[in-house]
Structure 1
Amino acid sequence: MSETFAPAVSRSPRAAAFRAGLHRARIEFRQSATSPQEIWGALFLPVIALLVMYLMRGQKVPGVAFSLSSQSIPGIIGLNVVLNGMMGLAMALTIDREDGTLLRAKATPNGMLGYLTGKVVSRAGLAVAGALLPLVPAAFLFDGLRLGEVSSWLTMAWVMTIGLVAMLPFGAVIGSLFEGTQNVGVITLPMMGLMGISGVFYPLTALPDWLQWVGQTFPIYWLGLGLRSALLPDTLAAAEVGDSWRHLETIAVLGVWAVAGFLIAPLVLRRMARRESGSRVAARREKAMRRAM
């Protein structure tokens, strides 16, 4: 009897931490979703991108009689997934390291499990919400989007799910490597450059061959490709590499990145957690106060 009972007891603290993490995620998501500052921060770049695309609505996709602006809408959604998901998680981890939240989680039994569960789930929810919101004005401003088809929404659902699973672990890695929010911000610039060579706003086939290979190495390209396959007519596949949406390749590449992330992220997070101490938190607070003065 004791042999069957012991495992259940040993698992219960982790299960309780996981449930606490889900509760934390609901609270954080509700707070972010009702904060005007958070909402504006999530929508600022997509609004600018939609405005630029609307001004360029007369341009056509090279080789295809389709609006370049409409072709770019999935890229804007992918941009929001990356910024609100991966980069948002990195920024949140860094902020919580500065104010001591992470140290308090470390001091609680299974606290890191609950903390990371809450952060990952809440950032995933915010990324999905931030990705879907630009679709409302896009439906009225741009023609040719397949928003009325059930298959489009199903494709978008699995693409965003596997895309978030592939990229969120690396958001945790970035947040673990940098100790200040300003340092994390440095990553934004190369991230935007990576989006530029990943076919997010312009067909990858228009770039030099070597840049096409570089772009296809990273998950951002495959996330954008999957979203384009969901929202654009099948004839637009002619503007893609291989004249195909390449769903199987999308699943394979994003799956590889997901496996790599889940192998690397725990190692980096454990190393970061071991280094956290009250003196390091105090030093960060003092440094942040000097920046604010």
Structure 2
Amino acid sequence: MMTVLRTGFARGGIELRQTLTTFADLWTYLFPAAILIGTVFFMRDAHVPGTSFSLGASTLPGVFGMGLAFGGLVTVAQLLVVEREDGTLLRAKAAPNGMGGYLVGKAVVVGGMTAISLALQLVPGLFLVDGLHVSLSGWLNLLWLVPLAFVATMPIGAVIGSTFENPRNLGLVMLPVFGLVAISGIFYPITGMPGWLQAVGQVFPIYWLGLGMRSVFLPDSLAVVELTHSWRHLETFGVLAVWAVLGLSLAPWFLRQMARRESGSAVAARRERAMATVGR
């Protein structure tokens, strides 16, 4: 285990440095952050229904939670599919403790870049919108919320990534994820949606990450616009913990099955299909 962890952290550190010095990788993380900050900026003069509080300030913490969810669910899935196609996963499989180190490394690089993206949204957001604040209890909540967010979402992202062989099929994942964002109270209070949509949104972690982030950055008086008129910390912890247990139970089996199917001929076949697609 210690060898796997040392290998994984070393691998993740190298990849993180490469990402920070590669424009295309940085653009992948920075462009969505800029778009979201711009969206919140144009919402700053609107108000939460029934209050005088800025809708932009109310939305921004939910955007932070959505960013954490995207990092775990979508980015991990994308990396697995792409590196499965180009043979990176096969090389990791062939090395001693390679798969364990590979997965730890991915957790390091995705976690690091997601944290950087969060900071890049938080710092300008504090200046662009009024009303955000963090109390001591808010910082304490952040200490358990962020790690639990990664544990709850990254294994599910690994499961999704292990079931797709073609990167071009990941669009099938993005559409449902954007649908969940729409019904998770990120850009508009969930209380304004029909009851059945509220129930669906509360099944998935995006809603709870948004709620948890709002409890960190918004005043307690804003809890009145939430379901049950409270921040529901226990429910947030419970739902995310259930997703963490579910993901950690399923991910190892899916990843083992994926690794067993990897071979030189499988990688070559995927490359041929990709080249044929480009040729068209």
TM range (shorter): over 0.9
Instruction: Rate the CA distance shift 1:157–1:133 in 2: closer, same or farther, 3 A.
Output: farther
How far is 1:117 from its partner? Answer: 0.9
- Stretch deviating more after TM superposition (51-60 or 243-252): 51-60
SS in 2 for 1:210: helix
* Contact 1:198/1:204, CA 8 A, preserved across alignment: yes
The aligned residue for residue 78 of structure 1 is: 65
Aligned partner of 1:53: which letter? Answer: V
Whole-angstrom distance in 1 between the partners of 2:42 and 2:126 = 16
Structure 1 runs (4+) deviating above 4 angstroms are none
Give per-residue Cα distances to partners, 1:65-101, cap 9 Å, x unaligned. 2111110101221222222332111111111111111
Listed as ranges, the gaps of 5+ residues in structure 2 are none
How far is 1:122 from its partner? Answer: 1.6
Q: Tell me whether 1:62 sits opposite 2:52 in the alignment.
A: no
Whole-angstrom distance in 2 between the partners of 1:154 and 1:292 = 50
- Stretch deviating more after TM superposition (182-191 or 201-210): 182-191
Whole-angstrom distance in 2 between the partners of 1:158 and 1:250 = 11
Listed as ranges, the gaps of 5+ residues in structure 1 are 1-13
Whole-angstrom distance in 1 between the partners of 2:5 and 2:174 = 31
How far is 1:53 from its partner? Answer: 2.2
The aligned residue for residue 246 of structure 1 is: 232
> Sequence identity of aligned pairs in percent?
51
Matches within 5 A, 1:1-293: 14-147=1-134, 149-293=135-279
* Contact 1:84/1:130, CA 8 A, preserved across alignment: no
Give per-residue Cα distances to partners, 1:233-257, cap 9 Å, x unaligned. 1111001010000111111110010
Highest CA radius of gyration, 1 or 2?
1
The aligned residue for residue 5 of structure 1 is: none
* Contact 1:78/1:224, CA 8 A, preserved across alignment: yes
CA RMSD after TM alignment: 1.4
* Contact 2:66/2:209, CA 8 A, preserved across alignment: no
TM-score norm. by structure 2 comes to 0.95
Whole-angstrom distance in 1 between the partners of 2:67 and 2:54 = 21
Give per-residue Cα distances to partners, 1:233-291, cap 9 Å, x unaligned. 11110010100001111111100100000000011111111111111100111122223
How far is 1:150 from its partner? Answer: 4.0
* Contact 1:77/1:132, CA 8 A, preserved across alignment: no
Give per-residue Cα distances to partners, 1:111-157, cap 9 Å, x unaligned. 1111111112221121122112111111111000015x444333223
Whole-angstrom distance in 1 between the partners of 2:63 and 2:34 = 9
Whole-angstrom distance in 2 between the partners of 1:221 and 1:179 = 29
How many residue pairs get aligned? The number is 279
